[in-house]
Structure 1
Amino acid sequence: MKKPYLAAGAGVGAGALALIGVLVLFVAAVANGAAGHQQSTAGVQAAGQGQVADIPPNMLALYRQAAPVACPGLDWSVLAAIGKVETDHGRYPTMRSSAGAVGPMQFLPSTFEGYAYPIPPGGANPPTPWDPTDAVYAAARMLCAGGAQTGTSNGLYKAIYSYNHADWYVNKVLAQAKSYAAAQPSDTGDADSDGASNPIVKAALTQLGVPYVWGGGAINGASGGGFDCSGLTSYAVYQGTGHRVVLPRTSQEQRHVGTPVARSEMQPGDLIVFNKNGWGHVGIYAGGNRMVDAPRPGKSVEIITLAGYWENYAWDIRRVA
């Protein structure tokens, strides 16, 4: 449970950091004990023992989607750790505390109201702390207002403390977040090590599990509850280049940006536009002969092999950063 937190401002923090830099800073912060505080590991999974496997797919997708959009500078693993510590990712039977906190992220209704808007993609209207999408985005905004956007160990500690005013709570969340962050390479292990560290690929990987929505997505994240193929590439390139590169919206237009690259010279982060239905599909090369894409209705953002099916189509590879 948590006490109400009165912040001077809410929502997205200033000075957004590239996600790759944030992960490095975050892991360093946890490893250094978060500004000298001793971490408790009670009840936290050890690295290598299933880490992210305990997170329901819909919640994992929400954590990854909300963190970079609602609080640039906040790693998804911190949101996931709070969800784990608070309600085991929404698995608790009642999700109502004796202090009146409710929902998967355990908000007091009065506190939630300060961080509920704008309504996130796929959220309830009006927003409610019982809705997982609303709750996760509100939690990210609250952490951002508390200092998480700074990317520093001290800022992260203060942000988590603002969520629940107890040192033991902060230590437990940090320990759980460290476990989730350490699991990320194996969780996204379908990309090779170089691919997983590329900032464009890394931005795309934060959206794994987000549903495909025709016309969905743009530079700031999902819209209408998801992404289509070019919406995902627009988001990943914009976020992965530190907001420097804005792609045109359609795959046909994206085929003409950047520098053409031979297939033998592909690098992680390159766009691959396929001549399917008139150059109608685009993905992001993730290394290891795989790509991240938003495939089609009924599917979600995924990382897949380029062998087999996609070899039946012509490719146009573009280096945009």
Structure 2
Amino acid sequence: MSTPARHPRTSSRPLPATALRRRFVAAALAATFTIGVASGCTVSGAIIDLPNSCGPAQNTKSASTDAGAADKPADPGLPAQALTPSGPIQQPTAPGTTTMTSPFGPRWGTAHNGTDFAGPVGTPIYAALDGNVAAAGATGEGPGVGFENWVVIDSVVDNRPVSTVYGHMWPDGIHVKPGQSVKAGDHIADIGNAGGSTGPHLHFEYYEGGKMQGGTAVDPMTKLGGASAPSGQVAGGPSSNIDLVAASKPVDCGKGFGSAGGGDLKPGSVPPEFEEWFRKAGSLCPQISPALLAADTKAESGFRAVVSPAGAKGYTQFMDPTWVVYGKDDDGNGTTSQGDVGDAVMAQGRYFCEIARQVDGWIADGSVTGDPLSLYIASYNAGEFAIKNAGGMPSGGDYTSETQPYVQRVLSFIPEFEQPGARGEFTPSNGGGSDVVDAAREYLGAPYVWGGGGAGGPTGGGFDCSGLTQYAYARATAGKNMLPRTSEEQWTVGTEIPMSEAKPGDLVFGAWESTGPGHVGIYAGDGQMVHAPTTGDVVKQAPVQADMRARRM
């Protein structure tokens, strides 16, 4: 070869120092969201004036060392204000601008203490409650770690201290300062992609007792259900203020992954042990699809855990230094290994998302030109800085003989794994019940995701039960018949009919509780329904459950 190999996972030659530094700084992709909490009642100049709760009001700096730079004292021009009870909570983003992509609870072997709302970089973030800014800026964890940058707002709700936390903004995307008084609906920041983030999103936390005061993180969705849009923001429709909220009584409150995309994989097109992981990894950021990851794995290893002559390992062919950055124990078996399908594919997804972030930025600033997808693939083979240095697709030497054919090979494999119509391409014929069934069937095989889906299609890689039904009706009727978001709310629409009279397109409800149905599906005829059953399962056609009742929309 006339030029050195540049493959960041297969080359036996050292990576350029700049690339190595970048990748190790980017260890955020393997980090967890762990932020220290401080004792006491006041932080960063924010005064909590609550009799019988935290003691006398103070204006002292938090003793927490973990909060680091976020615990900067307020600017002299921003004197701390005593907290007064907040008005009603509002959504932290405007309707239609973000999608709930990862809920509160266990995730990837650690505690996910908030809810993620994915949206483009620069999407406005609004204060959810009235209060004082307790922290704004760097968390002190260092570049690429945790939130990296955040805003913490202390408030009073029901005569108790609470904090709302907003994470992952870029430094220039924070518009408030410690000590500043804010109102619910104030524009406080913009969505970024800093710290331990696989894609641009707002990480939103709600702490009862206060974040810095040793309080308890609670599921934000229990507070945001039914919350109004931020002040001054126009909702997209009568139910838009609940689009961020999952069905409140699903069959199983499972956990989702990333953003829309998991349903794009053609069912049965990959070895069974890979399917779940391609769906999850292909949902981490909007630029990367499960079909791309499957095509790339086929090109790299043919779905075999192999070791290349250069020392690249596993199904997705990582060199050890790069694996240190992107590899995690995603399958939860106690080891992090290139030979574990889940670990390998999730690392592949994280690396591709970081590539996409870099390449998209270069395209935006004009330093790189070309087809983004082709450049992502070329970067996976040759390294991002080969693309940066070339200003686009590199050529000459190994780039011409290895990288360019590699790109074409991966692109040619993608249709083999891509699910036709999985990006919402279904076209209704007459808006009738058969169209509702057909729209739902377009996503057979897409994973169940708690809170997933809505009128626009899958989110978090899939659907929950009422997200699927809302999508199917919206799609079949070209948006004219917009169902509410939850199964209980959908039960209030239309007219109940005997199950014996159900026709394709009617909704069928089950899992009954005192508050109403906890599950909903779409009747498909002959005693069958199309539904998103439960965590670990996929959208499927199955027999109607015994306790179900029918409703015609």
Where is the strand percentage greater, Structure 1 or Structure 2? 2
Which residue matches 2:313? 102
- What CA distance in whole angstroms lies between the structure 2 residues aligned with 1:145 and 1:237? 34
Q: Deviations over 1:201-258 (max 9, x none)?
A: 7677432xx7xxxxxx53479xxxxxxxxx83478699999xxx9967xxxxx42368
- State how far apart, in whole Å, the 1-side matches of 2:507 and 2:380 are: 39
Which whole-Å CA distance do the structure 2 matches of 1:71 and 1:159 have between them? 13
% same residue: 20
Partner of 2:338: 129
Q: Alignment partner of 2:541: what SS?
A: strand
**TM-score under structure 1 length normalisation:** 0.57
Q: What is the SS of the residue equivalent to 1:291?
A: strand
Alpha-carbon distance between aligned partners in 2 of 1:104 and 1:303, rounded to the nearest angstrom: 29
Output one character per residue of 1:69-120: Cα deviation in whole Å (capped at 9) or x when no partner.
Answer: x22332211011112112222xx3x511111111111111221222235x54
Deviations 1:292-318 (A, max 9, x none): 32359xx83241145xx4376324689
1-side partners of 2:442 and 2:372: how far apart?
23
Which amino acid is the alignment partner of residue 114 of structure 1?
A: V
* Paired AA for residue 273 in structure 1: F
TM-score by length of 2: 0.36
After superposition, the Cα gap between the structure-2 partners of 1:134 and 1:247, relative to the gap in structure 1 and judged at 3 Å, is: farther
Distance 1:52 1:202, change over 3 A: closer
Q: Residue 347 of structure 2 aligns with which residue?
A: 138
Q: 2:275 aligns to what?
A: 60
Name 2:299's counterpart in structure 1. 85
Seen in structure 2, the aligned counterparts of structure 1 residues 238 and 155 have a Cα distance that, compared at 3 Å, is: farther
Structure with higher RCO (Cα < 8 A, 6+ apart): 1
C-alpha deviation, 1:185, in angstroms: 5.6
Q: 2:375 aligns with which of 158, 173, 188?
A: 158
Q: Which of 407, 422, 425 is 1:170 aligned to?
A: 407
Q: Return the offset for 1:131.
A: 1.4
> If you compute each CA radius of gyration, which structure gives the higher value, 1 or 2?
2
- Per the alignment, residue 45 of structure 1 pairs with none
Once the two structures are superposed, the pairs formed by residues 69-84 of structure 1 within 5 Å of their partners are 70-84=284-298
**Whole-angstrom distance in 2 between the partners of 1:77 and 1:167:** 19
- What pairs up with 1:194-233 in 2 under 5 angstroms? 205-207=445-447, 218-219=450-451, 232-233=464-465
Indicate conservation of the 8 Å contact 2:464/2:532, yes or no.
yes
> Are the aligned partners of 2:470 and 2:484 in contact in 1 as well (CA < 8 Å)?
yes
Paired residues of 2:338 and 2:344 also in contact (CA < 8 A): yes
Query: Using the alignment, how far apart are the partners of 1:116 and 1:108 within structure 2?
Result: 11
CA distance in 1, matches of 2:319, 2:340: 14
Deviation at 1:280, TM superposition (A): 6.8
CA shift, 1:174, in A, is 0.9
Partner of 1:40: none
Q: What residue is the counterpart of 2:175 in the other structure?
A: none
Letter in 1 for 2:289: D
Number of the residue aligned with 2:509: 273
1:35 aligned partner: none
Q: Which residue of 1 is the match for residue 533 of structure 2?
A: 294
Q: Distance in 2 between the 1:305 and 1:111 partners? A: 44
RMSD of Structure 2 on Structure 1 (CA): 4.9
- Structure-2 separation of matches of 1:99 and 1:238: 50
The one-letter amino acid of 1:206's match is: A
Structure number with the higher helix fraction is 1
1:71 partner letter: C
Amino acid of the residue matched to residue 489 of structure 2? H
AA aligned opposite 1:80? A
Which residue identity lines up with residue 446 of structure 2 in the other structure?
T
Look up the match of 2:140: none
The residue type equivalent to 1:78 in the other structure is L
Paired with 2:336 and 2:371, the residues of 1 have a C-alpha distance of 31
Do the aligned partners of residues 317 and 157 (structure 1) sit closer, same or farther apart at CA in structure 2, a change above 3 Å counting? farther
How far apart are the structure 1 equivalents of 2:338 and 2:345? 9
State the alpha-carbon separation in 2 of the partners of residues 281 and 101 from structure 1.
48
Label 1:313 to 1:271 Cα distance change in 2 as closer, same or farther (>3 A).
closer
**C-alpha separation between the residues in 2 aligned to 1:158 and 1:52?**
27
Would you say the 8 A contact 1:255–1:316 is kept in 2? no
Deviation at 1:265, TM superposition (A): 8.7
Give the residue type in structure 2 aligned to 1:13. Answer: G
Pair 1:260 & 2:489 matched: no
User: Which consecutive residues of structure 1, in runs of 5 or more, have no partner in the other structure?
Assistant: 24-50, 187-191, 211-216, 222-230, 249-253
